[in-house]
Amino acid sequence: MKTKALAKRLSALALDLRWSWCPTTQAVFGALDPMQWEATQHAPLETLRRVPSARLDACAADERFVRLLEDAEAAGRDYYAAQTWFERKVAPRNPDLKVAYFCSEFAIHESLQQYSGGLGVLAGDHVKSASDLGIPFVGVGLLYRHGYYIQELRGDGSTRVLYPTVEFGDLPIVDTGKEVQCPIGGKMVRAKIWKQQVGRVSLYLLDADIEGEPKAHRQLTEGLYKGEPDLRLRQQVLLGVGGARALEAMRFKPTVVHLNEGHAAFAAVERMRAMMARGKSYDAAFAAVRESTVFTTHTPVPAGHDRYGAKDVGKYLRPILKELGLSAEAFADLGRENPGDRLEPVCMTVLGLNTARNVNGVAELHGHVSREMWKGVFDVEEVADVPIGHVTNGIHARTWLAPEADELYRRYLKVKWNGMGPDDDPWKRASKIPLEALWELRKTLRSRLVHFVRTRLARQAARRGEGAAAVAEAYRAFDEDALTLGFARRFATYKRAPLIFKEAKRLAALLGDPDRPVQLVFAGKAHPRDEGGQELAQIIHTQAHKAGFKGRVALLEEYDMQVGRVLTSGCDVWLNNPIRPNEASGTSGMKPPLHGGLNASILDGWWPEGFDGENGWAIGDGSEFKSRRKQDAYDADALVDLLERELVPEFFDRDKTGLPRRWMERARHSLMTIPGQFNTHRMVGDYVRNVYL
pLDDT value of position 570 = 98
Indicate yes or no: pTM above 0.75.
Answer: yes
> How far is the C-alpha of 361 from the C-alpha of 654, rounded, in Å?
43
Domain of residue 189 covers 93-142+177-355
- pLDDT band for position 88 (cuts 50, 70, 90): very high
pLDDT of 387 > 80? The answer is: yes
C-beta of residue 408 within 8 angstroms of C-beta of residue 448: no
Tell me the pLDDT tens digit for each residue of 27-79: 999 999 999 999 999 999 999 999 999 999 999 999 999 999 999 999 999 99
pLDDT of 263 > 90? The answer is: yes
Q: Is 504 among the domain residues?
A: yes
pLDDT value of position 328 = 94
| H or E element that contains 151 | strand 150-153
C-beta of residue 53 within 8 angstroms of C-beta of residue 46: no
Closest listed residue to residue 663, CA positions, set 645, 643, 647, 644: 647
Higher pLDDT pick, 253 / 228: 253
pLDDT of 414 > 80? The answer is: yes
Q: Omega before 387 cis (within 30°)? A: no
328 and 230, same domain (yes or no): yes
- pLDDT band for position 226 (cuts 50, 70, 90): confident
346 and 470, same domain (yes or no): no
Q: Is 364 among the domain residues?
A: no
pLDDT value of position 265 = 98
Strands 307-308 and 137-142: unpaired
- pLDDT band for position 304 (cuts 50, 70, 90): confident
488 and 607, same domain (yes or no): yes
pLDDT value of position 361 = 97
67 and 20, same domain (yes or no): yes
C-beta of residue 97 within 8 angstroms of C-beta of residue 257: no
Q: Which residues neighbour 193 within 8 Å (Cβ) at sequence distance 6 or greater?
A: 176, 178, 179, 180, 204, 205, 206, 207, 246, 249, 250
Q: Is 194 among the domain residues?
A: yes
77 and 192, same domain (yes or no): no
444 and 582, same domain (yes or no): yes
pLDDT of 303 > 80? The answer is: no
> How far is the C-alpha of 620 from the C-alpha of 628, rounded, in Å?
15
Task: Report the pLDDT averaged over residues 589-615.
Answer: 97
pLDDT value of position 654 = 97
Q: Which residues neighbour 397 within 8 Å (Cβ) at sequence distance 6 or greater?
A: 594, 675, 679, 681
Task: Report the pLDDT averaged over residues 275-283.
Answer: 97
pLDDT value of position 447 = 98
Task: Report the pLDDT averaged over residues 539-561.
Answer: 95
204 and 273, same domain (yes or no): yes
- Residue 693: count of CB within 10 angstroms of its CB: 12
Last residue of a domain, one of 36, 54, 81: 81
pLDDT of 180 > 90? The answer is: yes
Last residue of a domain, one of 355, 376, 405: 355
- Residue 528: count of CB within 10 angstroms of its CB: 19
107 and 11, same domain (yes or no): no
Distances (CA, A) of 342 to 192, 335, 424: 37, 12, 52
pLDDT value of position 165 = 86
Q: Is 379 among the domain residues?
A: no
Domains identified in the chain, total number:
3
Tell me the pLDDT tens digit for each residue of 494-522: 999 999 999 999 999 999 999 999 999 99
Closest listed residue to residue 413, CA positions, set 398, 397, 433, 399: 433
| CA end-to-end span of the chain | 49
603 and 481, same domain (yes or no): yes
455 and 530, same domain (yes or no): yes
Task: Report the pLDDT averaged over residues 172-189.
Answer: 96
485 and 620, same domain (yes or no): yes
How does the average pLDDT of the chain come out, rounded? 96
pLDDT value of position 160 = 94
Strand partners, 521: 486, 554
Q: Is 442 among the domain residues?
A: yes
Higher pLDDT pick, 21 / 529: 21
> How far is the C-alpha of 587 from the C-alpha of 489, rounded, in Å?
10
Task: Report the pLDDT averaged over residues 321-340.
Answer: 95
- pLDDT band for position 379 (cuts 50, 70, 90): confident
> Which CATH number do you get for residue 642?
3.40.50.2000
Closest listed residue to residue 689, CA positions, set 93, 208, 27: 93
29 and 99, same domain (yes or no): no
Q: Is 47 among the domain residues?
A: yes
pLDDT value of position 60 = 96
Q: Which residues neighbour 454 within 8 Å (Cβ) at sequence distance 6 or greater?
A: 474, 475, 476, 477, 478
Q: Is 517 among the domain residues?
A: yes
Q: Is 627 among the domain residues?
A: yes
> How far is the C-alpha of 585 from the C-alpha of 605, rounded, in Å?
4
Tell me the pLDDT tens digit for each residue of 97-118: 999 999 999 999 999 999 998 9
